[in-house]
């Protein structure tokens, strides 16, 4: 009976260890199959802009940059329905 309880206690640990080894193997395989010999590096320019250079990324496959002017401004604060006042402003 004691052997059975020990085996039952070790099975979850063995299963978790096996899953971790399998996931690590998949990660190594994925990185190996990426086909990128140069991982790239980030370069900060004098104007503060950071750029990724010498990488396998194709700029044509990246999503387009959205213009900040297209986004609406900050939202108006919510009002307390009972007092019709700004709850954040009351706490100040």
Q: What is the pLDDT of residues 68-80, one digit of tens each?
A: 666 677 777 676 6
C-alpha to C-alpha distance for 56 and 41, rounded to whole angstroms: 11
Strand ranges in 1-92 using DSSP code E only, listed in sequence order:
41-44, 50-53
Give residue 53's pLDDT band: very low, low, confident or very high (50, 70, 90): confident
Average pLDDT, the chain: 79
Q: What are phi and psi of 53, to 5 degrees?
A: -125, 160
* Beta-bridge partner residues of 49: none
**9 in helix, strand or coil?**
helix
User: How far, CA to CA in Å, does 68 sit from each of 24, 34, 83?
Assistant: 40, 33, 35
The model's pTM is 0.41
* Domain residue spans of the chain: 1-58
């Amino acid at each position: 009976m004691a052997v059975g309880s020990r085996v039952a206690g070790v099975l979850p640990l063995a299963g978790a260890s096996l899953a971790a080894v399998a996931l690590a193997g998949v990660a190594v395989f994925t990185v190996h199959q990426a086909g990128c010999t140069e991982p790239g590096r980030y370069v900060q320019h004098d104007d503060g802009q950071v750029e990724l250079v010498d990488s396998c990324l194709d700029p044509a496959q990246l999503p387009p940059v959205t213009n900040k002017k297209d986004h609406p401004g900050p939202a108006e604060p919510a009002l307390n329905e009972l007092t019709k006042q700004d709850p954040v402003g009351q706490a100040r």
